[in-house]
Amino acid sequence: MRYRRPDPIRLKRFQRWFLYAVLALLFITGAAWAFWNYLAPAPGDFEMSTKAWAMKIHGAAAMAILVLIGMLLTGHVRFAWRVRRNRGNGSLFLGAFGILTVTGYGLYYAGDENLRAWSSWIHLAVGLALPCLLVLHIWLGKRTRPAPRLGHRPSSMQKLT
């Protein structure tokens, strides 16, 4: 017996919550690093250690999000693109991830200090805007979701006939 999910664009619960957890971890560690780097008064040993750990966790979560974006491209994005749902905002969201990836790479490997400074500010601005983009993407996605059909079972495990 094969089963089909009613909406192949919707992420499974585990995928959705794992994605949200990694995005939250990225946001919290990035914002914490930015706070300790730009706003905290005269950091001591604890703050410097915490700032270093925030960056290490941020880097690990960045690798995880790249894997998750690959997962999204093969299912979620492909199916949504085919049925022309949420294309504009989805493209903006993927573009933001692209900018974060390129600027994150630039922060580690740019030799020129001016390029590194630009990468830092762009990365910070887009990273801080990402939660708003995510909320907008989810909201617009729900608005473009087709209405349930009559006789359609809302269960995520629907038999194919």
Is the separation of the CB atoms in 126 and 92 below 8 Å? no
Work out the number of other CB atoms within 10 angstroms of the CB of residue 61.
21
pLDDT at 141: 82
> What is the amino acid identity at position 17?
W
**Per-residue confidence band for 153, with pLDDT thresholds at 50, 70 and 90:** low
Chain center to CA of 40: 27
Each residue's pLDDT tens digit, 48-93 = 888 999 999 999 999 999 999 999 988 888 888 888 888 888 899 8
pLDDT at 138: 87
Distance CA 15, CA 19 (A): 6
Share of the chain above pLDDT 90, in %: 46
Chain center to CA of 86: 16
Task: Report the 3 state secondary structure along 100-143.
Answer: HHHHHHHHHHCCCHHHHHHHHHHHHHHHHHHHHHHHHHHHHHHH
- What CA–CA distances, in Å, run from 58 to 22, 61, 121? 10, 5, 16
Has residue 143 got a pLDDT over 60? yes
In this prediction, residues 17-42 reach a mean pLDDT of: 92
Q: Which domains does the chain have, with CATH numbers?
A: 3-144 (1.20.950.20)
